Amino acid sequence: MSEKIDTNALGEKVVNVLKTIFDPEIPVDIYELGLIYDVFVNEDLDVKILMTLTTPNCPVAESLPMEVEEKVKSLDEVKTAEVEITFDPPWTQDLMSEEAKLELGML
């Protein structure tokens, strides 16, 4: 009998890693900033992250997705990690968590 893979637990670990990555222009992590739209974890331990950037011309448009992919891949349980960038829907400040808004003095 094979051990059941807990994709939810791995998903939480992935989110915890995402919370260690910060937007260089805003002192808030990319998860609280609302840049992560979805985290998919399948039974094969492949992780796919759907994320956006604050703007298409974001200065870290090249490096930030790479950093996300590298940090997620560094988790022992993760077999592969893929980051997909989307601008649909476009990012707005409404996507930020209450915590991020508080941190930036917007509440």
For residue 46, give the DSSP letter.
E
Q: Compute the distance between CA of residue 100 and CA of residue 69 in angstroms, rounded to an integer.
A: 23
Looking at residue 3, its pLDDT comes to: 55
Domains and CATH numbers, the chain: 7-92 (3.30.300.130)
Checking if the pLDDT of 2 tops 50, the result is: no
Q: Which of 70, 53, 89 is nearest to 18 (CA)?
A: 70
Whether the bond between 89 and the residue before it is cis, its omega within 30 degrees of 0, is yes
Residue 74 and residue 89: Cα distance in Å, rounded?
29
Determine the average pLDDT of the residues in 69-81.
Answer: 97
For the record, the structure tokens of 57 come out as 């011309």
By DSSP bridging, strand 80-85 and strand 46-51 are parallel
pLDDT digits (tens, 9 = 90+) for 19-64: 999 988 888 999 999 999 999 999 999 999 999 998 888 888 889 9
Token digits of residue 98: 């209450």
pLDDT band at 1 (very low <50, low <70, confident <90, very high): very low
73 phi-psi bin (left φ>0, alpha ψ -120 to 50, beta other): alpha
